[in-house]
Amino acid sequence: MPTSTPVSSSDFHPVEAMADLRHEFGEHGGVNMSIEASTTFSVLDAKTLPEIFRGLRGPDQCGCFLYGRHFNPTVYNLGKQLAQMEGAEAGYCTSSGMGAISSVLLQCCDMGDEILASSTIYGGTYALLHDYLPKKCGIKTHFVDVQDLSFVMNSITPKTKVIYVETISNPMLQVADIPALAQIAKKHGIKLIVDNTFSPLMVSPIKLGADIVVYSLTKYINGASDIIAGAVCASHSFIESMMDLHLGSLMLLGPTLDPHSASAISLRLPHLYLRIKEHSQRALLFSKRLKDLGVTVIYPGLEGHSGKKILERVGHQEFGYGGIFCVDMGTSEKANQLMDTLQNEQKFGIMAVSLGFSETLMTCPASTTSSEMTDEDLRKSGILPGLVRMSIGYTGTVEQRWSQLEQAVKKIASL
């Protein structure tokens, strides 16, 4: 197991770390691990089961398994692979990204506690923090601009238990300064939780001082848009606390992942780094060329974007600046015309929410994925009605895709 001693991200390479993990073979010597299709596990002698309940035996102590909601070998193996990728001590896979996020927040916060969250986050997370948690659990969130570090610091009160950010935020692509936020969290004895869904391999938040990393595996990590899944990576003791029989939110809310899905995702992990590199290279090239055409583009790889320098300081440069950019078409009518043309005339991409797929996916965040936000919060976050978010895919050749994009943009923006 790796340790989570803070080292600079340049000392840690996620792909090398993954290759260091002992390979799990299948039951009959298969090169891939078997799918463990059992929900309950037998023991050789009667005193073993109570020992598992008392925490004296488990997957890491004699390979003892008990019940699938607790740990399943196939799901456990994927959690180990993801922990290795993050440089975390432990990982647990959930049935969705929201399952991971909600369980982690409920584990860290009790009734009356408060959360400081970035004002530009995924719409589902925003609704959980803004609407669900205060009403159902008495946990209140203050939304802040996490770029403003002194404001973050001054917003912490004795009730604050968590700082919650996305490494690269959805959809505005702001980049969080994780080392600086981690320092603030440590100083106040609170936890920094980072959603790294947009930037797997690109940034290793745990190595930069974050306490907990959450993922929607549904996006880049699985990459095929066929499975909903999530993960939590953290210290052994935190994951153990989430499995507690009385107060563990993974154990008691039960959002575990299905072993068939875990197996499928684990078969796609070895080529994640090839996919991320290609997503990033194409997004950088297209965003530069669009900017040269005179289009307003938001992309953390472009000069003038506040996130560029942060990513260059904290990120693993070979994975680039990510596969997502936004173009501002000015009005929602033009945004819709652009997406219609790109899908139905040019065959450049597909109008759909989600991201990290082999094909380009396009949405208009203000009216879809961020529509949970109030009009005022949308405006404050800069999510304009004419914004189109593109998750750039890697099918087709680069110049074929560029020519499709260029023709559509020139036509709709009358360039």
Ligand X SMILES: *Cc1c(COP(=O)(O)O)cnc(C)c1O
Q: Which of 57, 80, 191, 219 binds ligand X (CB under 6 A)?
A: 219
The distance of closest approach from Cβ of residue 163 to ligand X in the complex, given in angstroms and rounded to an integer, is 16
Give which of 167, 117, 198 is closest to 390, Cα–Cα.
Answer: 198
- Within 106-135, which residues bind ligand X (CB under 6 A)? 122, 124-125
List 172, 181, 228, 342, residue binding ligand X (CB under 6 A): 228
Rounded distance between C-alpha atoms, residue 105 and residue 215, angstroms: 13
- The edge-to-edge listing of strands for the beta sheet with 140-144 is 90-94, 230-234, 212-216, 191-195, 160-166, 114-118, 140-144
Q: Is 97 in the site for ligand X (CB under 6 A)?
A: yes
Decide: helix, strand or coil at residue 50.
Answer: helix
User: Is 195 a residue that touches ligand X (CB under 6 A)?
Assistant: yes
Q: Can you tell me which of 170, 281, 363, 391 binds ligand X, judged by CB under 6 A?
A: 170
Contacts of 337 (CB under 8 A, 6+ apart): 329, 412
d(CA 409, CA 407): 6
**How far apart are alpha carbons 286 and 284 in whole angstroms?**
6
- Chosen residue from 230, 255, 307, 349 binding ligand X by CB under 6 A: 230
Is residue 96 at the binding interface for ligand X, with CB under 6 A as the rule? Answer: yes
d(CA 279, CA 380): 29
Coil vs helix vs strand at 67: strand
For residues 72 and 253, give the distance between their C-alpha atoms in angstroms, rounded to a whole number.
17
Closer residue to ligand X in complex, CB, 59/205: 205
Comparing C-alpha atoms, which of 366, 367, 415, 359 is closest to residue 390?
359
Instruction: Check binding of 204 to ligand X (CB under 6 A).
Output: no
Nearest CB to ligand X, comparing residues 127 and 295: 127
Task: Compare residues 218 and 404 and give the one whose CB is closer to ligand X.
Answer: 218
Asked if residue 197 binds ligand X (CB under 6 A), the reply is yes
Give the one residue of 77, 216, 360, 363 binding ligand X; rule: CB under 6 A: 216
CB 134, CB 140: distance < 8 Å = yes
Which of 263, 346 has the CB closer to ligand X?
263
Please give the residues from 139 up to 168 whose contact with ligand X meets the rule CB under 6 A: 166
**For ligand X, which is the closer residue by CB, 63 or 254?**
254
Q: Find the part of the chain contacting ligand X (CB under 6 A) among 36-44, 211-219, 268-276, 396-404.
A: 211-219
- List residues binding ligand X (CB under 6 A): 96-98, 122, 124-125, 166, 170, 195, 197-198, 216, 218-219, 228, 230
